[in-house]
Structure 1
Amino acid sequence: MNTLAFAGRREQTHSTPPDRAGLSTALRVAAVTVLTSLPVFLPGAANGLISAEFGWSSVRMGAILAVYWLASLSGAFVSKRAVLPMNGERTLAMALCVTCVGLFSAALMPVVGLWVSSVFGGAAYGYTQPHTNGLLMRRCAPRLRALAFGMKQAAVPAATLLASMAMPMLAGPSGWRPVFAGTAVLCGAGGALLMRGTPSGVSPASTTRRRNTPLRGRAFLIAVSCAGFFGAMVGNGLGGFLVIALTDRGASLTVAGAVATAGAALNIAVRLAAGWLVGRVPQAAWVALTGLFVVGAAGTALLASTALTVAAVGALLAYGGGWGWAGLLHYVIGLPYSGQEQRATAHSQMGVSLGAAVGPLLCGLLFSIHPASAWWTLTGAGVAAAACALAARSCTPGER
């Protein structure tokens, strides 16, 4: 059974979404994803200010960021066993409130609070990601679902851009603590607004019947989760070491920052474009996913070059492909599991979270020994991600 026919079957098994187009749900999910991502991207953007104030090494800050992703892994694992609520907004509201507490603790008592913020924010992010995936599948019209996943995942690089812009614009005159506190206020306000949301209908009967049924296709779940693991190693390793790699090749900090910003913007565009394309041509999902991994691997290979121009081109390819796959990954793993999308995407989220923690730590170790070895390692990870995607495609449940 091909992907297009399978998508048609999904349309029959799901009741008509209460929000027929699903745009309002997709926008709410994207906004929550931005806010719950900031506990990892704000410390990264304020790394220099925080380290200078407390005399911290880059190793300590890297550990704080890794804790966020390990907490995200734990949150996704817990979410795998949770029931998708009829009123998903309440779950999102609680996640924003937990994130709010963490960010306030970072602003008020940074030495301990930054660790608390990573634990709280990461757990909230990891727990809500499978829930939001389930909401998008349940509420969005079939033609919009792939784009909705692209919008949600585009919110992650959007959060990096917001954090990178907020620090120089706001932290200069007032310090980095008010930026964290202001973000906490936004999270609290968003949580309060969502808490007032009304239930939007009853879950489909198939969801209730099948939520306790074991997921079939264990090999498929493992292959897609491994693709997410290797892919996240590339994306998060790139985000942590691109600027320093370009400056080591002679670029000014302004130029290196401009390349990183352009890469993040391209990443947003790729995630949205991939979702738009697959929404109209469902058969392209696996080709697009595998192709993005390959493009990302080519980009990280070019980053091993000592030539600045070649490295800059590699950075754009690595950002566009090596981190542009996230929406498609969660979308394709949910397709074969009508009514069980939350549990299925919890597997891919755990793989992504683990890779996001391992990638920067491994790159930090290799970068201190031989910078090029870090980029070749990420190239290998990108190739491995593509191979895992091909393996998953060959054993997709229901498509033999």
Structure 2
Amino acid sequence: MTTLVRTDRREPTGGASREPAGLSTTSGVAAVTVLTSLPVFLPGAANGLISAEFGWSSVRMGAILAVYWLASLAGAFVSKRAALPAAVERTLAVALFATCLGLLAAAAAPAVGLWVSSAVGGYAYGYTQPHTNALLMRRCAPRLRAFAFGLKQAAVPAATLLASVAMPVLAGPVGWRPVFAGTAVLCGVGGALSVRHGPGAGRHPTGAPRGRGDPPGRDPFLMALAGAGFFGAMVGNGLGGFLVLALTTRGMALATAAAVATAGAALNIAVRLTMGWLVGRLPQLAWAALLGLFVTGAAGTALLTRPDGASATVGALLAYGGGWGWAGLLHYVIGLPYAGQEQRATAYSQMGVSLGAATGPLVCGLLFTVAPAAAWWALTAAGLGAGVCVAVARGRAERVRV
């Protein structure tokens, strides 16, 4: 077993000394995360419109969403084996340009382009996530790292929120294709800005000392938290892909269902930011917070099995807030013991997240056509499984202060 070492007293040098808090790095990373997440959340929000136009089943749309996360898994795997480049901003720019081209393909030729957009966008997302995790660890002040991870991961539900708002507001007047094309333009602009004014442009990101943690391998600590990411991502991305559809099939108006999803995404953002802020000040709460979020999410998905709209609304909020509010803490906890190896360590958690994110929509798509309640029970079991993985990881991390 890899020996875990305490790293909470480590003070960053180099780039971090020139940018004490690292908030500009965090905001730039969050913007990249929002844009590279949209190739999966835009189709999820437009699920009903696209399926009605082409006569597609929920299974096919679930498969398109799954492709994104399988490609993300491949990207994270490649990132695990890659060295952190001197100019990470160039890597982020390439990812944004690739995302731009994928979204344009989806708008121009949906029958093929939606698959292309998911594959290209997913790979770009998975490859860049461990890179940006390393940036946060090395450029942010120690007390602000947990909040920085929370802010970065809050960008994911922010993407869901933007997609949920864009579809009922914009898709009605102009159609869903122009929404995809407009998002592609934003990605292209973001890529150009990342090259010229990206987070910490012109600075080498490796200011943190190296060699204080063993090279990450198949350690039980890493594997357990990768498992937590797998089960937790099943919940979050199952919600992102099928919540609006599930609510509308119960008779709820599209605008109302979108409002519930939007409220859930907003709550999720608040939870990720709050947990990051709290753990930054009370590091000993990290494990209890992780476990509590997973259990809360499981309670929420269980409520989604109820037929009445009130229970479904409360369940959606609990599922979004708890069942998807853990991501920042997970990547923070898994990267903390591996000074100088944060990118490769968090690649394991990202691979778990990506695999779970592919599995969740696929399982929901298969079960939803048979019995919608079965899909939510499956996600409830996944949330409880994530909690078990956290408990196992906590037992392996006795020497880590987080």
With the length of structure 2 as denominator, give the TM-score of the two structures: 0.92
Mean Cα deviation higher: 142-151 or 370-379:
370-379
Q: Which residue of 1 aligns with 2:268?
A: 267
Shift of 1:210: 7.6
Q: Confirm or deny: 8 A CA contact 2:367 2:374 kept in the other structure.
A: yes
| Cα distance in structure 1, aligned partners of 2:73 and 2:60 | 20
Instruction: Write out per-residue CA displacement over residues 30-85 of structure 1, whole angstroms, 9 at most, x where no aligned residue.
Output: 00000001111112222233333333222222211110010000000000011112
Q: Confirm or deny: 8 A CA contact 2:44 2:240 kept in the other structure.
A: no
Cα 1:362/1:217, change in 2 over 3 Å: closer
Q: How does 1:305-316 map to 2 (within 5 A)?
A: 305-316=306-317
Mean Cα deviation higher: 70-79 or 216-225:
216-225
Cα 1:263/1:45, change in 2 over 3 Å: same
Mean Cα deviation higher: 355-364 or 41-50:
41-50
Q: Which residue of 1 aligns with 2:228?
A: 227
Q: Confirm or deny: 8 A CA contact 2:165 2:262 kept in the other structure.
A: no
Q: Partner amino acid for 2:206?
A: S
Q: Confirm or deny: 8 A CA contact 1:303 1:311 kept in the other structure.
A: yes
Shift of 1:397: 7.2
Q: Partner amino acid for 1:289?
A: L
Cα 1:256/1:169, change in 2 over 3 Å: closer
Specify the SS of the correspondent of 2:337: coil
| Cα distance in structure 1, aligned partners of 2:181 and 2:217 | 45
Q: Which residue of 1 aligns with 2:179?
A: 179
Q: Are residues 1:189 and 2:189 paired?
A: yes
Q: Confirm or deny: 8 A CA contact 1:18 1:139 kept in the other structure.
A: no
Specify the SS of the correspondent of 1:369: coil
Q: Partner amino acid for 2:302?
A: A
- Structure 2 residue ranges without an equivalent (≥5): none
| Cα distance in structure 2, aligned partners of 1:203 and 1:117 | 32
Shift of 1:216: 5.6
| Cα distance in structure 2, aligned partners of 1:60 and 1:206 | 47
Q: Partner amino acid for 1:200?
A: R
Shift of 1:159: 0.7
Q: Confirm or deny: 8 A CA contact 1:50 1:56 kept in the other structure.
A: yes
Q: Are residues 1:286 and 2:290 paired?
A: no
Q: Which residue of 2 aligns with 1:128?
A: 128
Shift of 1:202: 5.8
| Cα distance in structure 2, aligned partners of 1:347 and 1:201 | 24
Q: Partner amino acid for 1:334?
A: G
Give the helix-richer structure, 1 or 2.
1
Q: Are residues 1:341 and 2:342 paired?
A: yes
Q: Which residue of 1 aligns with 2:32?
A: 32
Q: Which residue of 2 aligns with 1:63?
A: 63
Cα 1:351/1:160, change in 2 over 3 Å: same
Cα 1:297/1:205, change in 2 over 3 Å: closer
Q: Partner amino acid for 1:95?
A: A
Cα 1:254/1:16, change in 2 over 3 Å: closer
* Number of aligned positions between the proteins: 394
Q: Partner amino acid for 1:186?
A: L
Shift of 1:293: 0.4
| Cα distance in structure 2, aligned partners of 1:193 and 1:154 | 21
Cα 1:186/1:270, change in 2 over 3 Å: same
Instruction: Write out per-residue CA displacement over residues 237-286 of structure 1, whole angstroms, 9 at most, x where no aligned residue.
Output: 12233234334555443333322221111111101101010111111111
| Cα distance in structure 2, aligned partners of 1:15 and 1:188 | 27
Q: Which residue of 1 aligns with 2:84?
A: 84
Q: Confirm or deny: 8 A CA contact 2:75 2:124 kept in the other structure.
A: yes
Q: Which residue of 2 aligns with 1:357?
A: 358
- Structure 1 residue ranges without an equivalent (≥5): none
Q: Partner amino acid for 1:168?
A: P
Mean Cα deviation higher: 82-91 or 32-41:
82-91
| Cα distance in structure 2, aligned partners of 1:369 and 1:110 | 27
Specify the SS of the correspondent of 2:319: helix
Mean Cα deviation higher: 115-124 or 6-15:
6-15
Q: Are residues 1:214 and 2:215 paired?
A: yes
Q: Confirm or deny: 8 A CA contact 1:250 1:308 kept in the other structure.
A: no
| Cα distance in structure 2, aligned partners of 1:230 and 1:383 | 8
Shift of 1:181: 1.7
| Cα distance in structure 2, aligned partners of 1:268 and 1:232 | 16
Instruction: Write out per-residue CA displacement over residues 109-142 of structure 1, whole angstroms, 9 at most, x where no aligned residue.
Output: 2222111111110000000000000000010111
| Cα distance in structure 2, aligned partners of 1:201 and 1:305 | 52
Percent same amino acid at aligned positions?
A: 73
Q: Which residue of 1 aligns with 2:325?
A: 324
| Cα distance in structure 2, aligned partners of 1:252 and 1:188 | 34
Q: How does 1:240-259 map to 2 (within 5 A)?
A: 240-259=241-260
| Cα distance in structure 1, aligned partners of 2:227 and 2:12 | 31
Q: Confirm or deny: 8 A CA contact 1:17 1:138 kept in the other structure.
A: no
Q: Partner amino acid for 2:236?
A: G
Q: Partner amino acid for 2:124?
A: A
| Cα distance in structure 2, aligned partners of 1:320 and 1:169 | 24
Q: Confirm or deny: 8 A CA contact 1:41 1:163 kept in the other structure.
A: yes
Q: Confirm or deny: 8 A CA contact 2:136 2:148 kept in the other structure.
A: yes
| Cα distance in structure 2, aligned partners of 1:235 and 1:64 | 16
Q: Partner amino acid for 1:254?
A: A
Shift of 1:223: 0.1
Q: Confirm or deny: 8 A CA contact 2:12 2:207 kept in the other structure.
A: no
Q: Partner amino acid for 2:203?
A: S
| Cα distance in structure 2, aligned partners of 1:94 and 1:243 | 32
| Cα distance in structure 2, aligned partners of 1:278 and 1:203 | 24
Q: Confirm or deny: 8 A CA contact 2:338 2:345 kept in the other structure.
A: yes
Q: Confirm or deny: 8 A CA contact 1:217 1:397 kept in the other structure.
A: no
Instruction: Write out per-residue CA displacement over residues 340-359 of structure 1, whole angstroms, 9 at most, x where no aligned residue.
Output: 11001100000011101111
Q: Partner amino acid for 2:113?
A: G
Q: Partner amino acid for 2:155?
A: A
Q: Confirm or deny: 8 A CA contact 1:233 1:355 kept in the other structure.
A: yes
Instruction: Write out per-residue CA displacement over residues 71-100 of structure 1, whole angstroms, 9 at most, x where no aligned residue.
Output: 000000000011112222111111111111
Specify the SS of the correspondent of 1:179: helix
Q: Confirm or deny: 8 A CA contact 1:17 1:140 kept in the other structure.
A: no
Instruction: Write out per-residue CA displacement over residues 167-219 of structure 1, whole angstroms, 9 at most, x where no aligned residue.
Output: 23333333222222221111111111211244214623734x589x6326700
| Cα distance in structure 2, aligned partners of 1:18 and 1:120 | 35
